[in-house]
């Protein structure tokens, strides 16, 4: 189809909706949709504006670049939105609002763009975040919204002004930036780097640092019931923790918004080292002896299927010493010592059981304990 034919089809398509019988604001809205329609078909804003005419109250400008197959288009008019599709492609959203004009009625729109990356499991391996939601607000009102492409990029065409940007992505903490200035005929760049929250899979668990709490949500989590201290705490997220020295690691969920459970394991699908349901009201806390060079896996879930927002804190107490040894059996005649793997070694203080561990394959055991007489 020639461009001239496309222009006629586009114009007739808009008029067929009833635009020819409208006036004022309603007609202006149809003209905006008509311009977008033409751009999608023809890619030439000038021809589209000629085809549909211009507003007497100021030219309506799409302020678009090569549209390709866009996920969204921002057109400046007076706060309306619509969904359209092109050539069998999925629908996309058009949001349009009033745009201020410079001298001579010239558009003063500018470009706001950037990229969104996640910092990886250890905050040191950035990677592009496709599908992150980027919202633009002005004076508390939502102006536009889009999602990042495969490279983590986003872009808006906005009237000159000051805006607020909000970014959200699954398994990552949100980010907000206020005071983003967009100027006419210029490009403003605002990039985002998001911290990971707990991960849905233990094998990809997020690194937990001492003194730096991690916040997130278990609402989208999956999993299975693998803890000893709770019932049906199936929806879980995972963290990993490697202490800088021997000591007691303290993990807590105090301040979270739901009835939590908290457990620590020595490996994914490994042995449970500690588990707690309620410590600070309905939130959880555990204390675990830890050893430098070892990695521990921390599981956050909710009692009886509860989900919600959490904040997980990790701390390390190094005011401790190591107690270790080997358990041997002396054989049938008390003269043939051999390692006793699996022997239970218990530590008591004042008659109360403090902790216990099974001896390893070589009969070796170890504890990290506070100073005192056992």
Residue 6: what pLDDT?
39
Residues 179 and 212 in one domain: no
Question: What digits encode the pLDDT tens for the residues 73-131?
Answer: 343 333 334 444 444 444 433 433 344 445 555 557 999 999 999 999 999 999 999 99
Residue 61 lies in a domain: yes
Per-residue pLDDT band for 22 (boundaries 50, 70, 90) equals very low
**Last residue of one domain, picked from the residues 65, 87, 103:** 103
Residue 215 lies in a domain: yes
Residue 374 lies in a domain: no
With 80 as the cut, is the pLDDT of residue 34 above it? no
Residue 241: what pLDDT?
97
Residues 313 and 328 in one domain: no
With 70 as the cut, is the pLDDT of residue 256 above it? yes
Between 113 and 13, the higher pLDDT residue: 113
* Residue 178 domain boundaries: 110-194
Element (H, E) at 36: helix 24-42
Residues 342 and 355 in one domain: yes
For the residues 143-165, what does the mean pLDDT come to? 97
Residue 175 lies in a domain: yes
With 90 as the cut, is the pLDDT of residue 173 above it? yes
Residues 216 and 165 in one domain: no
Length of the chain: 374
Compute the distance between CA of residue 36 and CA of residue 54 in angstroms, rounded to an integer.
13
Instruction: Return the CATH number at 311.
Output: 2.60.120.380
Compute the mean pLDDT over every residue in the chain, rounded to the nearest whole number: 77
For the residues 27-32, what does the mean pLDDT come to? 46
How many domains would you assign to the chain?
A: 4
Q: Provide the b/e sequence for 262-292 (b: ≥16 CB within 10 Å).
A: bbbbeeeeeeebbbbbebeebbbbbbbbbee
Residue 146 lies in a domain: yes
Between 297 and 22, the higher pLDDT residue: 297
**Last residue of one domain, picked from the residues 61, 83, 103:** 103
Residue 189 lies in a domain: yes
Per-residue pLDDT band for 374 (boundaries 50, 70, 90) equals low
With 90 as the cut, is the pLDDT of residue 199 above it? yes
With 80 as the cut, is the pLDDT of residue 72 above it? no
Q: Residues 167, 174: contact at Cβ < 8 Å?
A: yes
For the residues 20-38, what does the mean pLDDT come to? 46
Residue 135 lies in a domain: yes
Residues 251 and 219 in one domain: yes
Residues 313 and 214 in one domain: yes
Residue 66 lies in a domain: yes
For the residues 203-217, what does the mean pLDDT come to? 93
**Last residue of one domain, picked from the residues 136, 165, 194:** 194
For the residues 27-42, what does the mean pLDDT come to? 48
pTM, 2 dp: 0.60
Compute the distance between CA of residue 187 and CA of residue 182 in angstroms, rounded to an integer.
7
Element (H, E) at 47: helix 45-52
Residue 138: what pLDDT?
96
Residue 177, token pair as written in the block? 């930036």
Q: Range with the lowest mean pLDDT among 16-20, 163-167, 179-183? A: 16-20
């Amino acid at each position: 189809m020639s461009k001239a034919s496309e222009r006629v089809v586009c114009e007739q398509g808009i008029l067929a909706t009833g635009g020819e019988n409208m006036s004022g604001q309603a007609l202006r809205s149809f003209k905006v949709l008509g311009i977008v329609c033409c751009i999608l078909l023809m890619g030439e804003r000038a021809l589209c504006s000629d085809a549909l005419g211009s507003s007497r109250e100021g030219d309506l400008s799409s302020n678009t670049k090569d549209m390709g197959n866009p996920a969204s288009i921002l057109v400046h008019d007076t706060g309306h939105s619509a969904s359209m599709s092109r050539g069998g492609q999925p629908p996309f959203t058009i949001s349009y609002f009033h745009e201020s004009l410079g001298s001579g009625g010239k558009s003063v729109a500018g470009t706001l763009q950037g990229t969104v990356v996640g910092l990886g499991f250890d905050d040191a391996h950035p990677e592009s975040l496709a599908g992150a939601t980027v919202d633009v607000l002005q004076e508390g009102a939502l102006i536009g919204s889009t999602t990042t492409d495969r490279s983590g990029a986003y872009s808006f065409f906005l009237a000159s002004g000051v805006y607020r940007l909000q970014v959200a992505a699954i398994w990552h903490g949100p980010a907000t930036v206020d005071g983003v200035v967009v100027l006419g005929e210029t490009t403003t760049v605002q990039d985002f780097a998001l911290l990971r929250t707990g991960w849905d899979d233990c094998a990809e668990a997020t690194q937990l640092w001492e003194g730096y709490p991690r916040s997130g949500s278990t609402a989208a989590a999956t999993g299975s019931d693998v803890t000893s201290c709770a019932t049906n705490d199936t929806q879980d997220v995972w963290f990993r923790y490697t202490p800088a020295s021997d000591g007691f690691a303290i993990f807590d969920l105090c301040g979270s918004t739901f009835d939590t459970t908290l457990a620590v394991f020595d490996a994914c699908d490994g042995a449970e080292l500690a588990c707690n349901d309620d410590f600070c009201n309905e939130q959880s806390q555990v204390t675990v002896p830890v050893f430098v060079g070892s990695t521990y896996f921390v599981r956050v879930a909710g009692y009886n299927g509860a989900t919600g927002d959490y904040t997980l804190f990790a701390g390390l107490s190094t005011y401790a010493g190591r107690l270790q040894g080997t358990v041997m059996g002396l054989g049938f005649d008390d003269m043939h010592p051999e390692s006793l793997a699996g022997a239970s070694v218990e530590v008591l203080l004042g008659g109360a059981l403090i902790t216990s561990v099974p001896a390893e394959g070589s009969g070796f055991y170890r504890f990290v304990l506070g100073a005192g007489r056992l």
